Amino acid sequence: MGPDTLPLGTYGGAAAAAALLLWAACVLCRRRRKTGEPPLINGWIPYLGKALIFRKDAFKFLLDQQKKLGDIFTVHIAGRYITFIMDPFQYVYVIRNSKQLEFHEFANKMASKTFDYPALSKGKFPDLKENLHRIYQYLQGKPLDIISDHMMKNLQDIFEWKCSQATDWETEKMYKFCCSVMFEASFVTLYGRVPAADGHKVISEIRDKFIKFDASFPYLAANIPIELLGATKKVRKELIHHFLLQNMTKWLGGSKVVQARQDIFEKYELLGDYDKAAHHFAFLWASVGNTIPATFWAMYYLLRHPEALAAVRDEIDHLLQSTGQKRGPTYNIHLTREQLDNLVYLESALNESLRMCSSSMNIRISQEDFVLKLEGNQEVVLRKGDWIALYPQILHMDPEVYEDPKEYKFDRYIENGKKKTTFYKAGRKLKYFLMPFGSGISMCPGRFLAMNEMKMFLFILLSHFDVELAENKAVRLDNSRMGLGILLPDVDIAFRYKLRSLRN
């Protein structure tokens, strides 16, 4: 009997035996813990290691490992070895060690693949990364005031256009509402107004494509080839095309930060038109990808907690009164940076929702084999190429730091009427207690603008409208982007709004 005539069962048996051999070889060759290295969790699936269980519920997985192995351990996840540092008192030793623990290599690889621009290699694009970082100054200090003023104006224009007819209750889905207002206001503030008569329509088309792309973001971040993600590749290409120079030059009144990025890209001949557009698209994603869900949660929690809503609205009304400003049909409110800063109840409520919905993993890559020195003479041996990760969601939900961490307490970040910035664990003051914007070298450059934007959105909403939930259903965190930033809600929920009477 020749090979052509072997019964199917024999082929199946041979294939199973080969697979078993391959699996055994992988298991035998897998990494073993060396002296001084943290406890190692390999998993039994070759290459994937613990990827599946981590992806299913990273928060629970990490807590379980911490209980078993302590505050430092290494996990094999999708071909990477990631050492998690769970003790917040040790965060500082990772954050300040930016020489041996690098961030940009990771961010560069992931972002260039996700947003389809060439990696920022030093040889091809000398100093491009540094030049782009320098531009973040336009999101701080005096330029921050200017861009925040523009955002406030644009938000008010959009509220006026969208909601000023609401003399009786209007019902909308909350996530959709936040997305539509925040996307358009951010877009116009950063990139400019689309001057066509149907400018709103053009932006809403870009937004709809953005939502489609964003739904695939967790898969792209998990390194799944875009070709396997249905229409995502086509949608991304279309989105990037919107940012080609010939389109961007038509937009009016954009921001200094985007203009400065454009000027820098022009200096790099090796950067093609499509590549520059892809960089602009990536910046758009960074500026709204987290802000939209964060705005949703801030609004949702306020509406779920009437005492919080009343306190925040009271603070807002008081500010309007004390500055002689009137909410009214003209939507002409101006807020200085100091006034925004002094809204302690609004800020506390916002911080509390950020604490509950943020799940970003702060990653660094070890540049060499070395010994990371930690507090209390502790040391960890790390190998070149290993990832080191902080996972602040664990800190945000730590009952030793935050009493009843699953409960929304809008005034958690207020003490004696002022901002509360001291939090303790085991009787010791924490340097890091709230980290939705990352840490150290990789900290979000748009964090001040993001906080202002969300405050301004809530300010306009609560000062002009009566708002309430129109459905009584639980909205939970959708865990599919755990580790990647602000989590989305698992379902949308209806709310209603109506213009407040000008008399009260």
Q: Which residues bind ligand HEM (CB under 6 A)?
A: 107, 283, 286-287, 290-291, 294, 358, 360, 362, 436-438, 442, 444-446, 449-450, 485-486
CB of 447 to ligand HEM, least distance (A): 6
Sequence-separated contacts (24+) of 20-24 with Cβ below 8 Å: 22/46
Is 178 annotated as contributing to ligand binding? no
Q: Which residue lies nearer to ligand HEM by CB, 86 or 499?
A: 86
CB of 17 to ligand HEM, least distance (A): 44
Q: Which residue lies nearer to ligand HEM by CB, 41 or 413?
A: 413
Specify which residues 366 forms β-bridges with: 101
Q: Are 339 and 352 in contact (CB under 8 A)?
A: no
Is 26 annotated as contributing to ligand binding? no
Q: Which residue lies nearer to ligand HEM by CB, 41 or 393?
A: 393
Cα–Cα dist 360/436, whole Å: 7
193's torsion region: left (phi>0), alpha (psi -120 to 50) or beta? beta
Q: Which residue lies nearer to ligand HEM by CB, 90 or 114?
A: 114
**What six digits make up the tokens of 182?**
């925040």
Is 290 annotated as contributing to ligand binding? yes
Q: Which residue lies nearer to ligand HEM by CB, 188 or 486?
A: 486
CB of 451 to ligand HEM, least distance (A): 8
Q: Are 144 and 337 in contact (CB under 8 A)?
A: yes
Q: Select the residue whose beta carbon is closest to ligand HEM and give its number.
A: 446
Q: Which residue lies nearer to ligand HEM by CB, 27 or 443?
A: 443
Q: What type of residue is 312?
A: V
Work out the number of other CB atoms within 10 angstroms of the CB of residue 429. Answer: 11
Of residues 215, 213, 191, 214, the one with CA closest to residue 202? 191
CB of 147 to ligand HEM, least distance (A): 8
Q: What type of residue is 394?
A: I
Q: Which residue lies nearer to ligand HEM by CB, 192 or 485?
A: 485
Tally the C-alpha atoms within 13 A of residue 401's C-alpha that lie toward its C-beta: 21
CB of 259 to ligand HEM, least distance (A): 14
Q: 3-state DSSP: the chain helix, strand, coil percent, rounded to 5? A: 55, 15, 35
Residue with tokens 């960074």: 286
CB of 422 to ligand HEM, least distance (A): 23
Of residues 368, 342, 288, 329, the one with CA closest to residue 455? 342
Alpha helices in 192-336 (DSSP H): 199-221, 232-242, 245-248, 256-266, 273-288, 291-304, 306-322
CB of 426 to ligand HEM, least distance (A): 26
Residues marked as binding for substrate? 113, 290
Residues marked as binding? 113, 290, 444
Residues marked as binding for heme? 444
